[in-house]
Amino acid sequence: MSENNVWFVTGAGRGLGVDIVRAALAAGHRVVATGRDAVRVEKVIGAHENLMTVALDITDQAAAEQAAHAAVERFGRIDVLVNNAGNFYAGYFENISPQQFRAQMETNFFGPLNVTRAILPVMRQQRSGQVITLTSAAGLIGQEFCAAYAASKFALEGWMESLHFDLAPYGISTMAVEPGFFRTELLVEGSSTIWPELDVEDYAERTSRTIQAWKGMNGQQGGDPAKLAQALVTLSDAGELPLRFIAGADVMGGVEQNLATVQKQIEAHRDLSASLAFEALEA
């Protein structure tokens, strides 16, 4: 890793992605900023001599490979991949259609896999690189109204934790980032948040109440995305990535409480759990 790395950022046309690109550029890095509309990405971020914008639908493997090739053509290498693009299919499980659930997994889980699969050959050839993937507090703690979203983020957590072992021998490090509530565009209806398609009477009142609560949270979240973006640049530039970065006081508190709950569950049935081994047969 050098002082002037090449960053490849997905979902760079809005929200946290914009802040990540700006923070990396401000630190002197070169950035490949991707989004579904490359013109919109450049318009939002602003022209910069170290910026390249590329159109990319992360659910399209061929498009990911073309974007990786374009990045190497322009800058000669890729040092830092940031899997940031994603969306939020909100709702109770029975209200989320099978098509919506699959779409959630395609974007939030298989999308990062597509992009990472396209870029890893470049990093392996270099024998260096960083793969940074934005998951969520919902990737560590299940939450109400988040069945599809949490499933996609839990899947990312398992993938990233295992990927570390695959890539470490080639000088490539990984970091999963679990943000709490940040004031991004994730809760903007029609932008990143999609409400459930199906109506189930038992869930009707709870669904209506929860949707109104989520809408009321938009623009009121406690986390500053610009500070999170700067934190990611700071961690990347330090060279040694932590396997996880729990981002935000709210998610730190939630994870600590969840860990304590899991420990209590272990202790509650410790003897029963420990009794499950095969017993040695007497001669």
The set of catalytic residues is 149
SS3 of residue 143 by DSSP: coil
User: Is 109 within 8 Å of 86 (Cβ atoms)?
Assistant: no
SS3 of residue 271 by DSSP: helix
Amino acid identity of residue 213, one-letter, is A
Q: Taking the CA atoms of 161, 165, 170 and 171 in sequence, report the sign of the dihedral they define.
A: positive
User: Is 14 within 8 Å of 89 (Cβ atoms)?
Assistant: no
Q: Which of 238, 16, 189 is nearest to 91 (CA)?
A: 189
Token code pair at residue 66: 């073309």
Give the single-character DSSP code of 269. T
